[in-house]
Amino acid sequence: MDSIKKIMIFLWRGMKPILRKVNFLYLKLYVLKGYSTEKRIDYQRRFIQFDISPSEKVLDVGSGGEPFIYATHLCDPNPGKTQHRYNDLKTDNKPFAQVSAESLPYSAKEFDYVYCAHVLEHVGDPAKACDEIMRVGKRGYIETPTRMSDIMSNFTRFPNFHKWHVTRIGNTLIFNEYQVYEQRDMGTDEFYHMVHAIYPNAMQRMFKVNNDLFVNMFLWSGGFNYFVFNKKGELTSSFVYTGMRT
C-alpha cells in the first residue's frame, strides 16, 4: 500500500508542471482566438430597464468608442488616443462636444436623460462631475466598476488609470480615492481574459449572471447623494439630495 502511495505521489509531482503548462496554453488559446463581442448595452439590458422614449433628449457623458444607443447627443474629453479607453472614438454622426464631465456646456435640465458609464472612476473631481450630471439632466444612469472588479481584472496595476473606486448604496454613490497600497499588480490577468474570451467558460458564465456585483448600476431620478473621500479617508465633498435641486 505504501508503495502505491509513493508511486502516486511521484506521478502527481511529475504531472504538476505539465498541468500548469496545459492550463497556461488553455488560457492563451482563449486570448489568441479573440475576445467576446458582447457590448456594454448587452449586459446592461439583462439588468436595467432604461425606459427612454424616442422623443426624449439623451446625453452620453464620456461616450468614447461605444456610444449609448439611445443617446441623441455625445460628449467626451478625449477625441484621440487615450489610455482610458481601448477603442477609437465614435460619434455615429450625432452632435458631439469635446468636454469633460466636470464642465458640461449645456443648460439646466436640458436633457431628459443623462447616461454616464465607466467615466467617474477616472475624473479628477467626481463631486463636480456629479453636480454637472444632475444639473443638465432630469434623470439618468451611472455605471462604474466596483473595487472587486478592478482588483480581479488587475486594472489596479495601471498608473493614472482609475483614481476612484465607487460603492453604491441606495440613492447614494460613495467615491473612495485609491490608496497607494491598493494600486499594485495582482500578478495575473487570467480573470479578465477568461471573462472576455470568445469561447464560453465557467468564469464567464459566473460573471454574466453576477455582472451587477462587478459594476455599479445606478439609476437616478431628480438627483442623488454622493460622498467623496480622499486617500487619507477624509470627507472632501458631499451632497444629499432632498428633492429640491434645480
Convert the pLDDT of each residue in 73-115 to its tens digit. 999 998 877 766 667 889 999 999 999 999 999 999 999 999 9
* 222 Ramachandran zone, left/alpha/beta (phi>0; psi -120 to 50): left
Residue 98 C-alpha cell reads as: 469635446
Please give the residue that has the higher pLDDT: either 22 or 216: 216
Per mean pLDDT, which range of 20-34, 117-131, 193-207, 218-232 is the poorest? 20-34
**Higher local confidence (pLDDT), 40 or 82:** 40
**What pLDDT is attached to residue 11?**
60
Q: Which residue has the higher pLDDT, 20 or 218?
A: 218
Cα(105)–Cα(69) distance, integer angstroms: 22
pLDDT score recorded for residue 28: 47
Alpha carbons 32 and 41: distance in angstroms, whole number? 25
Instruction: Pick 41 or 83 by higher pLDDT.
Output: 41
* Higher pLDDT, residue 19 or 159: 159
* Residue 222 CB contacts under 8 Å (≥ 6 apart), including other chains: 138, 139, 241, 243, 245
| Helices then strands, each counted (H, E), the chain | 7, 10
Residue of 84 and 160 predicted with greater confidence: 160
